[in-house]
Amino acid sequence: MSFNWSALPLMPLADTVPAGTSLIMTPLPGLANLQVSGADSYAFLQGQCSTDFREVEQGKVLPGAICSLKGRALFTYLAVPSGNTVHLLLPQDQLADAHAHLKKFSIFSKVTLAASDDAPLLGIDGAQAAAALSQLLQTALPASGQAATTADGIVVAAVTTDRYLLIMSAAQAEKITVELQPMQALATTENAWHLAEIRAGLARIQATTRDQFQPQELNYPAVGGVSYTKGCYTGQEIVARLYFRGKLKQRLYRLSADAQPSAETGIYSGEKHVGDVVNMARSGENSIELLAIVKNAAIHDGELTLGLQGPSLHKLDLPYALDSEKEE
């Protein structure tokens, strides 16, 4: 059974973050934890995923993909290390399938897989996040892009500068959320965390977009989610071939619109379908931001809309550099 965040005195949760807010806490019930533990945990995942788990073993927090034989992302995750355990954080609705997929390949490795949907995950964000967490946990925090485990077992992942993710027990989650409230922490829905991910350019594959996009199309090389030197893993040959011999016809872009969140996923240039939404979040009372895979030519040549008759889309910057020479 999932941890019941609604039992804590956090309601009502804000959907968006007002300008100037310096401390935000976000319960993440939509995020699940697939734990891979044991002497072979890093070596096992090295052969299954696009991430270089030698770097994860050294304490890095990295995204990545579990790919099909066609080199397309079946599942995407954030890998968080803690000793001989790797926490693969992925959408709740993909936990069972990802667990079953990896379990098929684990029988010859010294690993244990545990699909945990009851350990609470909490996001802490904002300019005061580091100071607040350091005070509450009574310990120095890991550097950006690193993870550390406190003496009492709380796993702290510094996802980006001023943005942290905590993996902990139910009792610890209750204690921390209660202690954050006198610090004027704004409690938010997951929309705020999803918006932060969109602004970081970090795409999350949904069940509806499974096995459609290659990791390069998701810009994963730019965020440490693909290694071309790590060796073999499922789908690696196709991923490497695209890098060394091919060019991307489409990739991930960050876009905005003056609209309400919508179930519409098609991106159009006139009447031509040129892309698909990967992630979307509300950014204001009547505005949204999204990550979408869009054909490069369409981005440069024409006006885009969300749906055939939908609102106009505007291209926004991403916080990382991309190799334009790899685009067609």
What local confidence, expressed as pLDDT, does residue 215 receive? Answer: 96
What values do phi and psi take at 206, rounded to 5? -100, 170
- Joined tokens for residue 125: 């964000």
CA 59, CA 192: separation in Å to the nearest integer?
26
What local confidence, expressed as pLDDT, does residue 41 receive? Answer: 98
What local confidence, expressed as pLDDT, does residue 325 receive? Answer: 58
Q: What is the pLDDT of residues 139-155, one digit of tens each?
A: 999 999 999 999 999 99
Residue with tokens 């950014």: 283
What local confidence, expressed as pLDDT, does residue 108 receive? Answer: 87
What local confidence, expressed as pLDDT, does residue 13 receive? Answer: 87
Helix, coil or strand: residue 38: coil
Q: What is the pLDDT of residues 214-240, one digit of tens each?
A: 999 999 999 999 999 998 999 999 998
What local confidence, expressed as pLDDT, does residue 4 receive? Answer: 74
Domain ranges of the chain: 13-199, 208-316
CATH number of 208-316: 2.40.30.160
**Contact criterion met (CB below 8 Å) for 183 and 128:** yes
Q: Point out the residues of the chain with pLDDT beneath 70.
A: 1-2, 8-9, 11, 117, 324-328
**Contact criterion met (CB below 8 Å) for 51 and 216:** no
What fold does the segment set 13-199 form as a domain? Gyrase A; domain 2 (3.30.1360)
What local confidence, expressed as pLDDT, does residue 327 receive? Answer: 52
CA 37, CA 270: separation in Å to the nearest integer?
50
What local confidence, expressed as pLDDT, does residue 2 receive? Answer: 65
**Contact criterion met (CB below 8 Å) for 219 and 203:** yes
Domains 13-199 and 208-316 share a fold: no
